[in-house]
Structure 1
Amino acid sequence: MRILFVLFLCLSLFACGEEVAQVKEDPEVFVVTVKEQPYHPSRGFNGRIQSRSDVDIIAQVSGELTAIHFKEGDTIEDGAPLFDIDPAPYKAQLSKANAELARAKANKVNAEKNYERGKKLIKDGYISASEFDTLEARTLEAQAATQSAEAAVESAQVNLDYTSIKAPQAGRVGRSLPAVGDIVSPQLGALTSLVGQDGTDVVFQLPEKLLISVVNAESKITVEDITVAIVLAGGTEYAHTGKIDYFSNRVDSKTGTVESVASLPNPDDILRPGMFVRVILRLEEPLMSLTVPQAAVQVDQRGTYVLAVDDNSQVTRKNLIVGERLGENTVVNSGLDAGTRVIVRGVQKARPGQTVNVSEYKPATQASEGGEK
């Protein structure tokens, strides 16, 4: 009798469980409808700033430094005085060279007069041909000595001018390495540096595959279609953009990259040589592409996928090939069609082949539609 009671109880429980299973509701999921939207494809690289007009100021003559006409960090004009070297020795050299020139000119005048007299004397037979040749040779020697003395004067004048070192361009001057009273010379190296504000470049390494795609004549995208932006330290994007204007003529065999240079305006003197930045290559004209929220994208051993819901509210798996991230969204290169409903919330409760209750997902904030910033 007890056995029959237990059996009856088990059958009752099984019937109750079956009834519960029958009334169990389908899980609720929230979906978004996949659609095309414009975006600017972009790629990021590490880069550094350099100046096309980064000049080292080097002394051209030796001597004692007598004056420094700037403060480090000053913005100076083209031709502004920078350093003075003691000119006294070079003034003395110039005076000596002028004296040598005067003597050479006097000798030249005397030799030319004797030569003219010799022309008359040799016609009358008063001097021999050998004596006339000597007069002619002395004239030529005097003329050569005069030219040499003139060159010495010019050289002495150049050296004297070098004692006043002036800025070869406008720009921002660096720190003076020597102090007043130091002996400077060409062998000492740079006295300071001067960086012009024009001609600022960003240098970065471009993968050779990407280079081939943008320089290929048959490519739909060319260098002219790409805008170069940079992101400064701290994540701020620089206000001005530029264009790529140089690719190296060789590929680095160790890295498989090509040195590339883009020119950027620098009107506010924000960019300084040596700064490390993030270089963003961005297509100027937007492309249309399908995007899905990143929250909908799943990854397992079979690859990247999303769970979609068909017209019968049944869950299906869609294997994807995805592209770059666009804020909260991801570009879909293949695997989805426009109009597909993709599960964003409730993915954990849904299984392929399962029927679900579908609600439209309404995000609290608008998903970003831009490229990499």
Structure 2
Amino acid sequence: MRLPVILGCFLCLHCAVQAHATEQIIAQSSAPTIVGTTLVSKQPVTKALEFVGRIEAVNKVEVRARVTGYLKAVLFKEGDKVVEGTPLFRIEKEPFDAAVQQAQGALTKTKGILANASLQRARAEELLARQAGTATVRDQRIAEEQTALGDVTMTKAQLESAEINLGYTNITSPIAGVIGRTNVTKGNVVGPNSGILTTIVSLDPTYVVFPVSQREFLRLKDEERRAAGGVLKVGLRFSDGSAYEQSGRVNFVDVTVDKSTDTVTVRASVPNPGGTLIDGQLVRVMVEGDKPQERITVPQTALLADQQGAYVFVVEDGKAVIRRLKLGGEIGSDVIVDNGLTGGEQIIVQGIERVRPGGAVTASPVAPVTDRS
């Protein structure tokens, strides 16, 4: 008769354990979630217009052969820095030396003929003056002298041309910069039709060129009018998001609009002392405004988005409340808020994945980490 009593005790104990576990789960689910928050405030922001641009060397030379001949030597190392006048290629000189000597011989010959023609003309004039000669002979001698003079002029030009061609056998760098790879090697025959032998680009400074739409161009001109001295500063970012340490200045705006894209080409000059910027490189261009403005910014880590747009969680009365935002662009690791926050709000930046709209939260302030570069 004691078995039912024992079973009843075990059942009561089991129910009590289950009830206690349920109470703990309810208590845990209703406990506020601890989240990291930061205080929203206005910050001085230099808002920038952002474009996509390409790096262009200020000077770029495609080196070509100007005479045809056997290539005897390549005198540079690919990728080296060169100065103006650095020897690059040497073409076989012997045929061009021979052409110079031939032209010198022709010039000597024509000078001798001219000297004789001048003597004959002088003698004919003397005989005519003593009435021992005729005007016809005198005129013939004058014509012969003029013909000889023309021959001397022509052979002088031929000698100069031969000497110029001889000089072209030594191909040197016309600018200072960095030299690219060579497209020909020793032993080949090169000439004007051989194409580009190598390319040299200048390093410092360099240009960044970017297209600007008509609407953005008007904003750019407005910023230019307000900028100190009318010169706009330019910052660059690489494809990985890192910022270039040097800033440049806009120095040219094209005078025509590209009809196919309805854009205006703008160019800025940027210092490049370390050669970090490479000709043809794609970069993001930030054209900075005239002076900083007080704007609301929030860390990108606090930003969420759904079909209705961007939002953040704000702590109000111990609960997480959604606040919809209208954004005004990025600045480093932050985003600019045009509408939705006024300053003084506590927004959640850590533990967002555990937060539900309207859920109880406990705010734990964290130090903001901001990258303004």
Question: Could you tell me how far apart the structure 1 residues matched to 2:205 and 2:333 are?
Answer: 37
Taking only aligned residues, the RMSD between alpha carbons, in angstroms, comes to 3.7
Label 1:217 to 1:364 Cα distance change in 2 as closer, same or farther (>3 A): closer
Indicate if the aligned counterparts of 2:38 and 2:366 stay in contact, CA closer than 8 A.
no
Indicate if the aligned counterparts of 1:78 and 1:170 stay in contact, CA closer than 8 A.
yes
Question: Could you tell me how far apart the structure 1 residues matched to 2:332 and 2:365 are?
Answer: 14
Alignment match, 2:328: 323
Alignment match, 1:365: 367
**Aligned positions of 1:226-237 closer than 5 A:** 226-237=232-243
- Equivalent position SS for 1:187: coil
1:257 maps to a residue whose letter is: T
Question: Could you tell me how far apart the structure 2 residues matched to 1:268 and 1:155 are?
Answer: 42
1:102-139 alpha-carbon deviations (Å, 9 max, x no partner):
01111111111111222222222222222211111111
Question: Could you tell me how far apart the structure 1 residues matched to 2:276 and 2:173 are?
Answer: 21
Question: Could you tell me how far apart the structure 2 residues matched to 1:234 and 1:343 are?
Answer: 28
1:348 maps to a residue whose letter is: P
TM-aligned CA deviation for residue 333 of structure 1: 3.6
Question: Could you tell me how far apart the structure 2 residues matched to 1:177 and 1:279 are?
Answer: 33
Residue 269 of structure 2 is aligned to residue 263 of structure 1: yes
Indicate if the aligned counterparts of 1:215 and 1:223 stay in contact, CA closer than 8 A.
no
Alignment match, 1:105: 111
**Aligned positions of 1:4-23 closer than 5 A:** none
Alignment match, 2:28: none
Question: Could you tell me how far apart the structure 2 residues matched to 1:182 and 1:335 are?
Answer: 70
Question: Could you tell me how far apart the structure 2 residues matched to 1:228 and 1:114 are?
Answer: 76
Question: Could you tell me how far apart the structure 2 residues matched to 1:69 and 1:298 are?
Answer: 60
- TM-score calculated relative to the size of structure 1: 0.76
Question: Could you tell me how far apart the structure 1 residues matched to 2:272 and 2:224 are?
Answer: 34
Residue 357 of structure 2 is aligned to residue 348 of structure 1: yes
1:160 to 159, 166, 185: 166
TM-aligned CA deviation for residue 271 of structure 1: 2.0
Label 1:209 to 1:169 Cα distance change in 2 as closer, same or farther (>3 A): same
1:250 maps to a residue whose letter is: T
Question: Could you tell me how far apart the structure 2 residues matched to 1:37 and 1:225 are?
Answer: 25
1:368 maps to a residue whose letter is: T
2:100 to 87, 94, 100: 94
Residue 56 of structure 2 is aligned to residue 54 of structure 1: no
TM-aligned CA deviation for residue 155 of structure 1: 0.6
Question: Could you tell me how far apart the structure 1 residues matched to 2:250 and 2:60 are?
Answer: 20
Count of residues in Structure 1 that have an aligned counterpart in Structure 2: 338
Larger CA deviation: 291-300 vs 208-217:
291-300
Indicate if the aligned counterparts of 2:107 and 2:152 stay in contact, CA closer than 8 A.
yes
Provide structure 1 residue ranges, at least 5 long, that are not aligned to the other structure: 1-27, 351-356
